[in-house]
Amino acid sequence: MKKSKENFFEKVYKVVALIPYGKVTTYGHIAEVCGIKSAARTVGWAINNPPSELNLPCHRVVNRFGALTGRMHFGDPFLMESLLREEGIEFDENNCVILKKHLWIPAENKGVRKHKNTGKN
């Protein structure tokens, strides 16, 4: 029996699980390392309601400007920011994460394998 290929959501979950404490990454960086650079929105769909048993740090995923665009999916619009601040993550005057200081880029880190786009999710 052939081993089944991971679907795109499974790839996303593996990357999100690796985001270090005190760091954030973007939907786009996750999409790129998962093999479909243009799939940032799909990354958002994946982490909107991941399997609870994975216990993923989805609060560490922000948009390309550091804005907390996913905050409404946490049940409390202030929870995402609160969790990030508890990790020491700092925000600028526009309430965006200071990416220069806190950005983690999956493709540049050991242990994160870049997936090739096979045309299949």
DSSP code per residue over 63-83: -TTS--TTGGGGSSTTHHHHH
Q: What is the pLDDT of residue 74?
A: 86
- The answer to whether residue 114 sits within a structural domain is no
Q: What is the CATH number of the domain that holds 33?
A: 1.10.10.10
Q: What is the pLDDT of residue 6?
A: 75
Q: What is the pLDDT of residue 2?
A: 46
- The answer to whether residue 118 sits within a structural domain is no
Q: What is the pLDDT of residue 72?
A: 87
Nearest CA among 46, 18, 9 for reference residue 105: 18
pLDDT along the chain (121 residues), means of 10: 70 97 98 95 95 96 96 90 98 97 91 58 41
- The answer to whether residue 116 sits within a structural domain is no
- The answer to whether residue 13 sits within a structural domain is yes
CA-to-CA distance for 36 and 28, rounded, in angstroms?
Answer: 9
Q: What is the pLDDT of residue 3?
A: 47
Query: Is 58 part of the annotated catalytic residue set?
Result: yes
**What is the tally of structural domains in the chain?**
1
Q: What is the pLDDT of residue 118?
A: 46
- The answer to whether residue 119 sits within a structural domain is no
Q: What is the pLDDT of residue 113?
A: 66
Per annotation, catalytic residue among 34, 58, 62, 89: 58
* H or E element, residue 44: helix 40-48
What is the domain extent for residue 54? 8-108
- The answer to whether residue 113 sits within a structural domain is no
